[in-house]
Amino acid sequence: MLLAAERSGAQQEVWAVPGAAIRVDVAVSREPDHPDLGVFVKIPNGGLLPGKFRVPDVRDAQGKQLESVIVADSATDGFGVLFAKPGDGETATVYITPSANPPPRPANTRLFPATFFFSKNGNASLEVAKRMERDYPPAQGASFDEWDYGIGSMVNPFGPDDDFSTWIVGAFLLEKKERIYFCTISDEGSEFAINGKMVHSWPGLHTRQGGAKGQRGDWVELGPGLHRIDYFHFEKTGPQEINLCWKRPGMETKDGMPEHVSGLAQSGRADIKRIAFKDGRIAGVVRGNTQRLGYYWIGEKPLVLFALSYGAVTPSDALNVTWEFPPNKRFAEPAIDWLVSGDPDTISYPVTLAVSNAAGIARTTVRMRCFWTPPALSLDTQNDRLTVRKALYDMLRAVPPPADPCADWSNDHWGMLIELLEPYNAGPILIEIFNRGFDTLQKRPAEERWVLEDRFIETLRLQRKDKLLLDWIARLEKNERTSARKFRWKDERVCAYLFDINNPAAAKHEVAFLKETAIAPDQTQIAAMRQGDVERALGNYNAAMKFYKDAQDRFRSRNKVGMAGGRLTYVGARKRREAESETNTTAKASSKRPAMQSLASRMKVDDWKIYTVHDASMYATITSFLAQDALPEAFQKLNDWENESPASKLSGDYPMAEAKVYLSVGDLRRAVNALATYRKSVTMSAQLADAMKLEIECLQQLNDKVRIKEIAADFVQRFPGHPYEAAMKEVLAP
């Protein structure tokens, strides 16, 4: 019944042209420089417009017919109409009637467009170029658009740069009578006419050299007023150039050469406000398909970024809007960003805008095209990173579940994703990929896949869904083919129980399996360190220190320990052997000590001093990285610190740094667990008060009121008279 009502209501609308199938309401957004140049509107086609041909009828707000001509009728570029400026100067309606035959050219029309570029690939010749102007509708089978660059170009903006024909129509205004010299510089053939009269023809296959000094032209006597220029050109192969030049009175150049024709007059412009069908359907206009934002090139081919949106819909229209991409991709939001892989000048990627209401669906298909090389965008810029990440996410969501959303991604798309990912900042992109594209992901190179897996696990931590986290750790371990990476997932399971789920008993059970599978030296070190973490979480600090010392010794046995600038330094075992060999060789010829000083003789005496300096330095470095939003560097430094000096986990600097790193990325549970473990392991320290305050701030975000009060009460007992005491008592107040 609703459908019938909608159709009935639409048919009762009074149309000024009863036989028209579509009406397009427009508003003038730019005045024409001369009344004869009219107002131009490009109406989308791509399957939207009915009939083999179209007949326009333009009416003003009062229904009075306005003079109009067809500028071009292209299945891909749209239906261009030029009409006389309406009396009110603001609004008009274009009625479109389908026709089986080409409409007749309006007799004695004064209207012509300026400046417009028409291009057609294939069978390039001056005859093809001139036929575009003679045909009606003009330029059949060609691409076209407004042109703001005068009568000149060094490329074909609408297609390949070889084998194309061009027609450019423009206009200029003279205030008084002038004698002007016009000439063409072209590669290859060209000719031009003024006010319909041929001025000069330079046909054939040639380079620009024969006309480079302005010798391919003639003088023309012109009166005041508006004058039309038609320029025709064709290009076969090699370099291409379109250039109309002139010499006017008072125009003096150092070399006496003519200048490129500039300051051309322009037609007005109208923006589409609404497209309605006689049967009640409403259509939209695709915006942005030729307005690429930029490109990124990090792999085999550039990825060109488009931001698509739809227009020409009034708020009173109750519509559903869907973007459709091949093959079988749908996106039901008003705007979408898209990355197209390929050389910018060859991109021609179709997109369909489907607008539906109770009366039915209206579809228009356009192509994303890149007429000019777009600007290069930088992934070092935060705004660019966010934009391209949104594009990747939009592309994933456009694939209907349960289909694999990245099955047709190129290596460039995957490479772009890897470049974008930062610790704890993958967002929902990886959720889509791992949930629906896991099989495709398993086919990616191991190093690439491992990065995605690590970022994915971080994303799950932020969701705080413990069962899901453990299930995915088990699945990733099961699907892994390398033993070292399988060990990585066993370690991750221990960490999940310890630092996310806060279940030390379960972690102790899992750490036994971790220890059993530890074979390589680095694995036995990690197993010892995790045993220390478990004991620390259970409150067994002496046992924790024993395991931490074991882990530290194992690390030092594989690395050369030294001092540089008051800091601990380490070199891997292979490099250590190389350094020792070099030292033995040079020791015979020199009494100088090596730059990498061994700590074997010093660790017994001032080990605690060295590590105190080391911890302070690491804390300061991590704090500096966080201040600069350098998260990857901060996480790497924290990992280095954990391996070099695991015993530091029992002092103040490391837990505070760990908490701040995790707090900066929103991983509140890991931040809280680090601070809670530290609070329980010490009676008093210089950083304890700040650590407890920070722990409460984290718990407030987690809305854990019970633990907040427990810590506040503990603080008041430990730090009577402290500056934070009043705030803690406020927390404890009923």
Summarised one tens digit per residue, pLDDT across range 154-202 is 989 888 899 999 999 999 999 999 999 999 999 999 999 999 999 999 9
pLDDT for the residue numbered 572: 52
Beginning with the edge strand found earlier in the chain, give each strand of the sheet holding 567-572 in spatial order: 567-572, 559-564, 597-598
76 — pLDDT class (breaks 50, 70, 90): confident
Cβ–Cβ < 8 Å for 472, 434: yes
**What pLDDT score does 685 carry?**
80
Q: Residue 603 — very low, low, confident or very high, per pLDDT cuts 50/70/90?
A: very low
Instruction: Kindly report, residue by residue over 468-487, the tens digit of the pLDDT.
Output: 999 999 999 999 999 999 99
Kindly report each contact of residues 284-288 with a partner whose C-beta sits within 8 Å and lies 24 or more positions away, as own/partner.
284/310, 284/311, 284/312, 284/313, 284/319, 284/321, 284/353, 284/355, 284/362, 284/364, 285/44, 285/310, 285/311, 285/312, 285/353, 285/364, 286/44, 286/310, 286/351, 286/353, 286/364, 286/366, 287/311
CATH superfamily of 609-734: Tetratricopeptide repeat domain (1.25.40.10)
**Whether pLDDT at 439 is above 70:** yes
Here the tokens at position 68 are: 């109009």
Ranges 349-358, 507-516, 676-685, most confident: 507-516
pLDDT for the residue numbered 596: 30
pLDDT score at 620? 94
pLDDT at 605 exceeding the cut of 50: no
pLDDT category at 571 given cuts 50, 70, 90 is: low
Contacts of 499 (CB under 8 A, 6+ apart): 669, 670, 673, 674
pLDDT value for 254 = 66
Range in 276-285, 517-526, 551-560 the model is least confident about: 551-560
Tokens representing residue 126 in the block? 């001056």
Tokens standing for residue 367: 């192509």
Q: DSSP labels for 648-716?
A: GGGSSHHHHHHHHHHHHTT-HHHHHHHHHHHHHH-S--TTHHHHHHHHHHHHHHHT-HHHHHHHHHHHH
Same fold, 464-578 and 609-734: yes
Tell me the pairing of strands 268-277 and 39-43: parallel
Q: What percent of the chain has pLDDT over 90?
A: 69
- DSSP 8-state symbol, 188: S
d(CA 579, CA 562) in angstroms, rounded, equals 12
Confidence of residue 580 (pLDDT cuts 50, 70, 90): very low
* Tens-digit pLDDT profile for residues 318-328: 689 999 999 89
> 123's torsion region: left (phi>0), alpha (psi -120 to 50) or beta?
left
Query: Given a cut of 70, is residue 601 above it in pLDDT?
Result: no
Residues 101, 33 contacting (CB under 8 angstroms): no
Q: Is domain 464-578 given the CATH code 1.25.40 in the classification?
A: yes
User: Degrees (nearest 5) of the Cα angle 108, 114, 119?
Assistant: 105
Band (583; pLDDT cuts 50, 70, 90): very low
Closest CA to 92 of 111, 65, 115: 65
Beta bridge partners of 97: 55
pLDDT band (50, 70, 90) for residue 587: very low
**CB contact at 8 A, 501 and 466:** yes
- Choose between 317 and 86: higher pLDDT: 86
Instruction: Find which of 333-342, 503-512, 651-660 is predicted with most confidence, using mean pLDDT.
Output: 503-512
Mean pLDDT, all residues of the chain: 88
pLDDT at 592: 34
| 3-state secondary structure (DSSP) of residue 230 | strand
Average pLDDT over residues 353-366: 91
The pLDDT assigned to 77 comes to 84
Q: How far is CA 593 from CA 581, 584, 587, 596, 597, in A?
A: 14, 11, 8, 8, 7
Domain ranges of the chain: 1-114+271-280, 117-264, 284-463, 464-578, 609-734
Return the pLDDT at 585.
40
Which tokens belong to 438?
């896991």
When pLDDT is averaged across residues 69-75 and rounded to a whole number, the result is 93
Q: Cβ contacts of residue 455 below 8 Å, gap of 6+?
A: 421, 423, 426, 430
- The yes-or-no verdict on residue 307 having pLDDT over 90 is yes
Of all residues in the chain, what percent carry a pLDDT higher than 70?
A: 90
Least confident of 149-163, 437-451, 483-497, 532-546: 149-163
The answer, yes or no, to whether residue 565 has pLDDT greater than 80, is no
Compute the average pLDDT of residues 490-504.
96
* Span 351-370, average pLDDT: 90
8-state DSSP, 376: B
Per-residue confidence (pLDDT) for residue 678, from 0 to 100: 87
Q: Which fold has domain 117-264?
A: Jelly Rolls (2.60.120)
Per-residue pLDDT averaged across 103-123, rounded? 94
Most confidently predicted of 257-271, 361-375, 567-581:
257-271
Rounded to two decimals, the pTM is 0.79
Burial label for 7, CB within 10 Å (0-12, 13-18, 19+), is middle
Chain position carrying tokens 């423009």: 170
pLDDT over 60 (residue 575): no
Q: Has residue 8 got a pLDDT over 60?
A: no
Q: How far apart are CA 127 and CA 134, in angstroms?
A: 10
Mean pLDDT of 420-433: 90
Rounded average pLDDT over 541-555? 94
pLDDT at 256: 74
348, 313, 303, 358: which is closest to 46 by C-alpha?
348
